Structure 1
C-alpha cells in the first residue's frame, strides 16, 4: 500500500517513540491500525458497490438492446436469463419490506 522501506519505517518508529514515549506508543499504533482497517473496509465496500452498480447497468443495457431487437426471452443466453431472474427477485425483495411497512400500522407511542 505504501512505498516505505526499512529505514523510513525505522525513522518513523524512533520519532514516534521520542514524541509519544514508550507508554503511549503501543496504544497509538493500535489506533492507527484500527483506522487503517476501517479505511480498507470502507474502500472495499465502495469497490463492491461500484462493481454491483456497473453490473446492473450492463444488464439493463443488454435488456434494452434485446427489447429493441424484438427477441423473445427464451432466446436469451442462460447466463442472461439467470441475471434477469436475479434482478426480478432483487426488485421483489426491495418492494416486500416497503409493502409490509405500509400494511402494518404501528401504534403511536404514549409518553407518560
Structure 2
C-alpha cells in the first residue's frame, strides 16, 4: 500500500528513537500498534458494510426484475383467461339460445328405436295371399 522498503523502515525507527527517546519508545510503539489495529478493523468494517450494501442493492434490483417478469406473465395469463372466458361465454349463450328457442318443426320419429318388420309381398295391397303366421308361406 505505501511501498516502504527495509531501509526506509530502519530510517523511521532511528528517527523515532532520537525524537521520542529510549524510555518512551516501547510505549509509543505499543500505542501505535493498537491504533493501527483499530484502523485496520475500521477499514475492514467499512469494506464489509460497502460489500453488504452492494449485495443488498443487487438483490433489490434482482427482486424488481423478478417482480416485473411476474407482472408481465400475470398480465399475459390474465388476457388469455379473459379471451377464453369470453369465448366460453359466447358459446354458452349460443347453446342457451338454441335450447330456449322453439323448435322449427316437430322431430321425426326415430327409426332406430321402433323396429318395424318389412312388409311381406303378400301384405302389399292388391295381393290375394293371406298370411296365417310367421314363417309360413302361402
Q: TM-score range by the shorter chain?
A: 0.5 to 0.7
Deviation at 1:64? 0.5
Q: Deviation string for 1:54-75 (max 9, x for gaps)?
A: 1111111111011111179xxx
TM-score (norm 1): 0.60
The alignment yields a C-alpha RMSD, in angstroms, of 1.5
Ranges of 4+ aligned residues in structure 1 off by more than 6 Å: none
Higher helix share: 1
Give the match for residue 12 of structure 2.
Answer: 12
Larger Rg: 2
Q: What secondary structure is seen at the aligned counterpart in 1 of 2:21?
A: helix
Q: What secondary structure is seen at the aligned counterpart in 2 of 1:2?
A: coil
Give the match for residue 76 of structure 1.
Answer: none
List alignment gaps of at least 5 residues for structure 2.
74-138
The answer to whether residue 49 in structure 2 is matched with residue 44 in structure 1 is: no
Q: 2: distance between equivalents of 1:7 and 1:23? A: 24
For residues 67-82 of structure 1, the aligned pairs below 5 Å read: 67-70=67-70
Give the match for residue 55 of structure 1.
Answer: 55
Give the match for residue 81 of structure 2.
Answer: none
TM-score (norm 2): 0.49
Greater RCO between the two (CA within 8 Å, min separation 6)? 1
Q: What secondary structure is seen at the aligned counterpart in 2 of 1:3?
A: coil
How many residues are treated as equivalent by the alignment? 72
Deviation at 1:2? 2.7
Q: What secondary structure is seen at the aligned counterpart in 2 of 1:23?
A: coil
Deviation at 1:6? 1.2
